[in-house]
Structure 1
Amino acid sequence: MPDDFDQELKDKAALPDRTPRLEIKNLVRRYEGLAVVDDVSLRIMPGQVTCLLGPSGCGKSTTLRMIAGVEMQDSGEIWVDGKLVCDTHFRVPPERREIGLMFQDFALFPHLTVAGNVAFGLRNGTREEKRARVEELLDRVDLLRFIDGYPHQLSGGEQQRVALARALAPRPRIMLMDEPFSGLDNRLRDGIRDQTLSLLKEEDSAVLLVTHEPDEAMRMADEIALMRGGKIVQQGAPYNVYTRPVDQAAVAFFSDANVLHAQVNGALAQTPFGQFLAPGIPDGTYVDIVFRPQHVRLDFDRAGKGPLPTPSDGVPARGVVERARFMGHESLVEFRMDHDGSTLKTTVPNVFLPKPGKAMWLTVRRDRCFVFPSH
């Protein structure tokens, strides 16, 4: 790598519109022969928040460590603003990558004041300039009054905001965040996430956020990369990832899911809820028809009869309430279905708590169902 890498980054004041701030190409990391990160590629633009979403152990944090430079990939490349910073031959040291880091463990220095913690990463500038930057950031996170205090005097949420200010102080071009909000209680989490997102957007950083919480990804991300078994299995805007899942596991990762099993005949799958379209799937193929609880419509039993079939909702099937629970903003009602004894979950806005044993008719919205070949 050229020795003037830092200067080259600083000279890129006016970047081409489509030059990614961060680009990783075909990253692979193996442990004892097993690929824990397997051919992962991402592009993140300035001001964009991308969320690497997936279950524990899928390779999210390992990907982050390779980008930060604290772990070396087995193959693949990492680029910042169109400049190669790391492959298997060249490697820019972590401290020269202009990358900020935030982790679940805030890792504040207990012997330093709040000001000292925030100023820790500021290498350039006079004492007065550093102090001004510290005051600016602490004011933006509403902690200026604690500038001369110590971490142990702060709450968990306040410590998290100090960690954010410290990470932003050097004006990093890229911010890597590994489950930074998981240590906070739910009462504080949403507000701090929103404040963090606002600050990161103002700084025009490219952000890669790692989380296993779908709600967090949906709330914060411009783009979600869904990761499983070391690979990115789906990538796109949150709306598209949620409404156009690539497979059954992608549906289930974001919410509860109901599954009907059927066999295709003439591009149709026959079920107790009527026929479902299965275009492009060969006859004889077994399929799973997947739908979320909120997309089930309920109707009352009228002397053993339900509503008439419709093109949008199909054929009604009868079930008996097993349990009903109020969840705060919706009610979860579980049914034991007459046709096969299976359990089907539904959610209803507000309070709806039918008694166990009550018979009802259920229909499924056709435009909210996903048909996947069974595995």
Structure 2
Amino acid sequence: MSTVRLRGVTAGYPGMPVLDCVDLMVAAGTTTAVLGGSGSGKTTLLRVVAGFLAPTAGEVLIGDRTVAGPGTWVPPEQRAVGYVRQEGALFPHLSVAGNIAFGLPWPRRRHRDRVRELLGLVGLSDDVGGRRPDQLSGGQQQRVALARALAPRPQLVLLDEPFSSLDTALRASTRDATARALRASGATAILVTHDQAEALSFADEIAVLRAGTFRQVAAPPVVYGDPVDAEVAAFLGDAVLVPGIAGAGQVVCTFGTLAVRGFVTHGRVEVMLRPEQIRLTPPGAGRVDATVLDIAYFGHDAVVELDLIDDATHHGIRARVAGVAQPSPGARVGLDVVGPVRVFPPT
């Protein structure tokens, strides 16, 4: 296990700067998800840590060792880093056991025990070891790729959107198996992803990357419940944003007077609610009334699109409700708000 530190790292490509003086620390034995949209710099950051791209400024440390910095450069093969790509990139001419054992430095007679251990670690049976990669499902291939990365006991494992090519069921099961394997091995890991749900469920900490800089680095409940600004709030999960006027620990908005979480600036603000904070009530029993416009059904829950009655601004309001019972489009309902809300300066 090793702590990973990026200090003032700037990197990019000729004529195209990407990372702008970023700082990040990943504690030993933990997983950090770097979350960002396309072009935010996620893959560039991973390439810098892996040693595939040299930073133009700043330094990278793995443990107590500087692997990139002014006058210092350690090549990728000497960094003790495991790398899992989006497609797994297994060697097609080798068996599963051969793929896993490929990077092992010790005598071949000891490979069998290590391969068996790793197959169990990623949730695969021993008989899989004799198969070829093309005889495995996509999820199994990604588990083998993880086992191969863990085989030489690296200080750090880098995961480059490893679940994005899998279908929904495989993605969830493979993600869970990967998380268990990383915890069992004690490895430090960095996952880059654009999937908010994946980052929230997988990582100990989330680093939100936007336009080459980190906007917020914190535990998943903090980033989701207390985002640093409205853009982070909207990016990390669904967010309902309405204008309001704040002061004295509360805010007045279209839902009435609400308690505010965190520091409150006085004056005009944007009020952020999560859809699960909005509860549907009988008409007249909530803070305001609304008309149901549409319903998106997901099985376990549903998102109800609403139009506030007697509200000239027609803010888009979304409430998340249990999937077993939803109102019909055109129905009139009341809306209530559960818990304190977050406010931001107006954009």
Matched, 1:160 2:132: no
Aligned to 1:136: 117
3-state SS of paired residue (2:73): coil
Count of residue pairs the alignment pairs up: 342
Aligned to 2:265: 281
Q: Contact conserved, 2:242 with 2:315, CA < 8 A, in 1?
A: no
In 1, distance between residues paired with 2:281 and 2:128? 57
Aligned to 1:5: none
In 1, distance between residues paired with 2:27 and 2:259? 39
Aligned to 1:8: none
TM-score, normalised to structure 1, is: 0.85
Identify which of 338, 342, 346 aligns with 1:370. Answer: 342
In 1, distance between residues paired with 2:20 and 2:75? 23
In 1, distance between residues paired with 2:116 and 2:244? 63
In 2, distance between residues paired with 1:131 and 1:224? 37
3-state SS of paired residue (2:152): coil
Aligned to 2:292: 321
Query: How do 1:70-219 residues align onto structure 2 when only pairs under 5 Å count?
Result: 70-122=52-104, 124-141=105-122, 142-219=124-201
Q: Contact conserved, 1:291 with 1:370, CA < 8 A, in 2?
A: yes
In 1, distance between residues paired with 2:181 and 2:248? 54
Q: Contact conserved, 2:12 with 2:44, CA < 8 A, in 1?
A: no
Q: Contact conserved, 1:47 with 1:204, CA < 8 A, in 2?
A: yes
Of 201-210 and 334-343, more deviation after overlay is shown by 334-343
* Per-residue deviation, 1:81: 1.4
In 1, distance between residues paired with 2:249 and 2:318? 27
TM-score, normalised to structure 2, is: 0.92
Cα distance, 1:90–1:299 mapped onto 2, change above 3 Å? same
Matched, 1:348 2:314: no
* Per-residue deviation, 1:268: 6.2
- Given residue 298 of structure 1, which amino acid in structure 2 is its aligned partner? L
In 1, distance between residues paired with 2:264 and 2:197? 33
Q: Percent identity?
A: 39
Cα distance, 1:43–1:268 mapped onto 2, change above 3 Å? closer
Q: Contact conserved, 2:67 with 2:73, CA < 8 A, in 1?
A: yes
Q: List per-residue Cα deviations over 1:31-79 (Å, max 9, x = no partner).
A: 3454311122222222111111111211111000000001111111111
In 2, distance between residues paired with 1:113 and 1:265? 65
Gaps (5+ residues) in structure 1? 1-14, 309-315
3-state SS of paired residue (1:318): strand
Gaps (5+ residues) in structure 2? none
- Given residue 114 of structure 1, which amino acid in structure 2 is its aligned partner? V
* Per-residue deviation, 1:280: 4.8
Q: Contact conserved, 1:66 with 1:73, CA < 8 A, in 2?
A: yes
Aligned to 1:313: none
Matched, 1:28 2:20: no
Query: How do 1:294-333 residues align onto structure 2 when only pairs under 5 Å count?
Result: 294-301=276-283, 306-307=284-285, 316-333=287-304
In 2, distance between residues paired with 1:264 and 1:203? 48
Q: Contact conserved, 1:325 with 1:353, CA < 8 A, in 2?
A: no
- Given residue 371 of structure 1, which amino acid in structure 2 is its aligned partner? V
* Per-residue deviation, 1:270: 3.6
Aligned to 1:6: none
RMSD over equivalenced CA pairs, Å: 2.1
Larger radius of gyration: 1
